[in-house]
Amino acid sequence: MIGQNLLGPEPTLLAEDTAVQTALAAGDSLEAIVRAHPESPLAWALLADEASAAGREIEAYAFARVGYHRGLDSLRKAGWRGAGPVPWSHEPNRGVLRALYALRRGAAAIGETGEVDRLTEFLHGADPEAIAAIEAL
């Protein structure tokens, strides 16, 4: 218990997204996965990553924006109240964190610096290790 904030909110731990994980393992296209599971922040984040890698900055930003909103929906359904830890170490949380990161990257690509700052703060508040972990992928 030493070093823990006993007054802060409990970490938000999302449920596994087994359908998306199964589709990814089967090699389904990201577009097909998004069509089948539009509620998945992971699917949208991966689609944003693909667009970004291809230099399609506006599409990447748009895909990431959808993933961000789907991520917020997932967090709220899990009891998140707008603040508190969303640990990267809990694998089902990674889709939301990756969507946040993808939106941050997309915002930087189009010069939306205020959004970059806000999303950096959001990611650090969710898990201070998340940005480094995502960049190491």
Kindly report the CATH number assigned to the domain that includes residue 78. 1.25.40
What pTM value is reported for the model? 0.93
Band (pLDDT 50/70/90 cuts) for residue 3 is low
Give a yes or no: residue 104 inside a domain: yes
Q: Which of 5-9, 22-26, 133-137 comes out lowest in average pLDDT?
A: 5-9
Per-residue pLDDT at 4: 59
Mean pLDDT, residues 98-123: 98
Q: Is 79 exposed, middle or buried (0-12, 13-18, 19+ CB in 10 A)?
A: exposed
Q: How many domains does the chain have?
A: 1
Give a yes or no: residue 81 inside a domain: yes
Structural domain boundaries enclosing 74: 29-135
Give a yes or no: residue 16 inside a domain: no
Q: What is the chain's percent helix, strand, coil content, to nearest 5?
A: 65, 0, 35
Per-residue pLDDT at 8: 79
Mean pLDDT, residues 85-111: 98
Give a yes or no: residue 12 inside a domain: no
Give a yes or no: residue 60 inside a domain: yes
